[in-house]
């Protein structure tokens, strides 16, 4: 009768088995990660050499380092190979994936789409979105398949891309768009209130203040007259603010920007509108508009934008010396820092003056809402003109830049596309 092996013998045998399993694991891992390109397998009467093609070696290393899941499918959809990233995605060990069907990871509602994709891919290649079910959680993925023929065997090379982050971003964008739509609705409601409910009582304040000044002027004391003048002035300023706010808010609406007009003619018409102000301040105007083209834009908005700049050039002239305004235009080859080009797709308008100017440090401030570099007592205005101008130019896919020095005048440079993508 054969005696039972001792405890020490069993322990030694167990250690040997563990060692063999460890070696097998190391060999498999080395093959997977491309650390070896040949194996010698000991057989009963000889040693057999198995080599791995260098192309396969590079492929294995690349696949293992991918941040996307990679698998190989047989003709029936069985998984013949998968990389570590796919195993992490489906939260299973590789040993539990090889030999299973890819359809087993796909939700019931996406099974038909997957079958169609599989059939299509065995004809060449295919791509589509499905959902995986992993630990009770639905994961959206993009499956990209391509047919490969290796040694008369047809297989599918498959890349699995996790779309969870992309879908989350899309949902966030959709939420943002919804919130923006709500904000635009609120803005439109405000504009309606500003144009009707606010202006009506203000109009009455202006009318009755004027009546009071005209009819009761002789009965008013010096202080009362002063107070009344302040009421009339403040009401007029409030009226201007409401109009400017209403105009600024309307720029957010979807308005057409496909008018076709000569920019040169628009500027010339504007200068005629300023004729009295130009004569009053003895402004010398120089224009070089021959290179300005026919452009596609919202004519009314462009008129407003240019009018605001020219108006400022007249308003902020220096008390000494003759005020000068120079307006030029040309086509350029690109939006920013472009060079003149008779066939360029962009238009550059430059408006310069020799007025009081401003510190370049505040060049961006003048485009902010209600921003003023001078007190309202010195120069009239609401502080919204340049903000409106900037919004108009940006709505036309252009940009505007201000350059100046204190006491050295200011230059405004506008760049806009000649044609809008509608």
Spatial contact of 245 and 384, defined as CB atoms under 8 Å apart:
yes
Spatial contact of 370 and 381, defined as CB atoms under 8 Å apart:
no
In CATH, what number does 168-250 get? 1.10.287
CA distances from 214 to 185, 209, 219, 236 (A): 43, 9, 11, 17
Local confidence pLDDT in tens for the 422 residues of the chain: 556 566 566 666 666 655 555 554 555 555 555 554 544 445 555 544 444 454 455 556 666 667 788 888 888 888 888 888 899 999 999 888 888 999 999 999 999 999 999 988 888 888 899 999 999 999 999 998 888 877 677 888 888 888 888 888 888 888 888 887 777 777 667 666 666 677 777 888 888 888 777 776 667 777 877 888 888 888 877 777 777 677 766 676 656 777 888 999 999 988 888 888 898 889 999 999 888 889 998 888 888 899 889 988 988 888 788 899 999 999 999 888 788 888 899 999 999 999 888 888 877 878 876 555 554 555 555 567 888 889 889 988 999 999 988 888 899 999 999 988 74
As a whole number of angstroms, the distance between CA 351 and CA 305 comes to: 12
Task: Determine the 3-state secondary structure of 132 from DSSP.
Answer: strand
Q: What are the φ/ψ torsions at residue 149 (nearest 5 degrees)?
A: -115, 115
User: Tokens in use for 100?
Assistant: 């299973």
As a whole number of angstroms, the distance between CA 37 and CA 42 comes to: 17
Q: pLDDT value at position 18?
A: 57
Pairing of strands 137-150, 324-332: unpaired
Which segments of the chain belong to CATH 3.30.565.10?
259-417
As a whole number of angstroms, the distance between CA 150 and CA 235 comes to: 85
Task: Determine the 3-state secondary structure of 137 from DSSP.
Answer: strand
Between the two ends of the chain, the Cα-to-Cα distance in Å is 97
Distance of CA 238 to the CA centre of its chain: 36
CA distances from 102 to 80, 164, 180, 262 (A): 10, 19, 42, 63
The counts of H helices and E strands in the chain are: 11, 14
Q: pLDDT value at position 422?
A: 47
pLDDT tens per residue across span 222-238: 787 788 888 888 887 77
**Burial status of residue 392 (CB atoms within 10 A of its CB: 0-12, 13-18, 19 or more):** buried
- Following DSSP, what letter does each residue of 77-100 receive, concatenated? SBEEEE-HHHHHHHT--GGGTTTS
As a whole number of angstroms, the distance between CA 402 and CA 312 comes to: 12
Which segments of the chain belong to CATH 1.10.287?
168-250
Which segments of the chain belong to CATH 3.30.450.20?
68-162
pLDDT tens per residue across span 361-376: 877 878 876 555 554 5
As a whole number of angstroms, the distance between CA 324 and CA 6 comes to: 111
In CATH, what number does 68-162 get? 3.30.450.20
The domain defined by 259-417 carries CATH number 3.90.550.50: no
How many CA atoms are closer than 13 Å to the CA of 103, on its beta-carbon side? Answer: 15
Q: pLDDT value at position 111?
A: 93
pLDDT tens per residue across span 54-79: 445 555 666 666 778 888 888 888 88
- Within 10 Å of residue 50's Cβ, how many Cβ atoms? 9
- pTM of the predicted model as reported, rounded to 2 decimal places: 0.49
**Burial status of residue 292 (CB atoms within 10 A of its CB: 0-12, 13-18, 19 or more):** buried
């Amino acid at each position: 009768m054969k005696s039972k092996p001792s405890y020490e013998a069993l322990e030694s045998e167990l250690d040997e088995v563990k060692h063999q399993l460890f070696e097998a694991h190391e060999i498999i891992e080395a093959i997977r990660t491309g650390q070896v390109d040949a194996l010698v397998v000991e057989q009963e009467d000889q040693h057999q050499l198995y080599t791995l093609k260098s192309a396969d070696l590079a492929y294995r290393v690349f696949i293992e380092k991918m941040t996307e899941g990679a698998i190989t499918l047989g003709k029936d959809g069985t998984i013949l190979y998968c990389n570590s990233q796919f195993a992490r995605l489906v939260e299973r060990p590789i040993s539990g994936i090889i030999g299973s069907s890819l359809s087993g990871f796909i939700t019931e509602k996406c099974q038909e789409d997957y079958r169609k994709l599989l059939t299509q891919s065995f004809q060449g290649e295919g791509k589509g979105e499905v959902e995986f079910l992993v630990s009770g959680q639905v994961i959206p993925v993009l499956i990209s398949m391509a047919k490969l023929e290796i040694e008369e065997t047809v297989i599918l090379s498959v890349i699995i891309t996790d779309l969870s982050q992309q879908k989350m971003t899309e949902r966030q964008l959709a939420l943002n768009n919804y919130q923006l739509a709500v904000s635009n609705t609120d803005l439109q409601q405000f504009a309606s209130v500003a144009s009707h409910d606010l202006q009506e009582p203000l109009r009455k304040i202006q009318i009755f203040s004027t009546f009071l000044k005209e009819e009761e002027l002789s009965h008013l004391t010096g202080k009362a007259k002063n107070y009344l003048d302040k009421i009339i002035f403040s009401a007029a300023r409030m009226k201007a603010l409401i109009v400017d706010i209403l105009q600024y808010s309307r720029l957010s609406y979807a308005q057409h920007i496909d008018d076709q007009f000569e920019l040169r003619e628009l500027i010339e018409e504007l200068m005629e509108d300023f004729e009295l102000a130009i004569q009053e301040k003895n402004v010398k105007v120089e224009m070089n508009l021959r290179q300005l083209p026919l452009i596609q834009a919202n004519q009314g908005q462009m008129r407003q934008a240019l009018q605001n700049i020219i108006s400022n050039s007249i308003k902020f002239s220096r008390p000494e010396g003759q005020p000068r305004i120079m307006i030029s235009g040309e086509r350029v080859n690109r939006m920013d820092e472009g060079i003149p080009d008779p066939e360029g797709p962009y238009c550059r308008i430059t408006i310069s003056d020799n007025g009081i100017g401003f510190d370049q440090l505040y060049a961006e401030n003048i485009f902010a809402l209600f921003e003023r570099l001078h007190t309202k007592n010195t120069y009239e205005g609401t502080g919204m003109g340049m903000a409106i101008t900037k919004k108009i130019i940006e709505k036309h896919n252009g940009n505007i830049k201000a350059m100046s020095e204190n006491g050295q005048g200011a230059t405004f440079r506008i760049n806009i596309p000649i044609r809008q993508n509608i």
